[in-house]
Amino acid sequence: MQVTLVPVAREEAGQVYELMLQSFVSEERRDEKGFYAALENAAYKLYHIAADGKISGFIGLWEVCGGAFVEHIAISPDCRGSGMGSAAMKAVQQRYGSVVLEIEPPTGGDRLRRYNFYAALGFKLNDVDYFQPPYRPGDAPVAMKLLSWPDALPDCKSAVNAIYSTVYGIKCAEGEE
């Protein structure tokens, strides 16, 4: 399947945000104000996933760690299972050369399915305790796992600090992860 990643124009961002609301629980996504603020950050890239001229999903990523940190990827419900998600991730892998992302611990069900999706694309599970910082005040951090491609991260602490700083606006104290 031929998939292209097309930068999202500001006036199209509302469509993407609607799919984000459908695809991610509130603890795993920004509120609308935070979403639009991310669009103003030069390190953040938001792409439509297009196949055969039709917009079928989106991917939001940050240029960090010498590659990409994929914050969100979602495929429209009517296109799921078509191979479009795999094709989009392969396009990101090709474009950025190294990719990091977070997933819920693969304990079964949809979580294991998601892990297997990324493992089939060559992603490696990193042995690090990792928590996604909360998107909103009052929310708790979310226990996640870090996956990376093409290899495991050589320095997880440095990568986590870069992700926290660039993506979440959090500076880690020396010696913390």
Residues of the chain with pLDDT > 90, as a percent, come to 72
CATH code for the structural domain at 3-168: 3.40.630.30
122-140 confidence digits (pLDDT tens)? 999 999 989 999 999 899 9
pTM of the model: 0.91
| 66 in Cβ contact with 93 (< 8 Å) | no
pLDDT for position 175: 47
Joined together, the tokens standing for residue 67 give: 């590659």
Q: What is d(CA 8, CA 21) in angstroms, rounded to the nearest whole number?
A: 17
In the prediction, which pLDDT does 35 show?
Answer: 96
CB 166 within 8 A of CB 158: no
Residue 154 has pLDDT above 80, yes or no: yes
Residues 68 and 61: their CA atoms lie apart, in Å, by 6
Separation of first and last alpha carbons in the chain: 39
Dist CA 166 CA 158 (whole Å) = 12
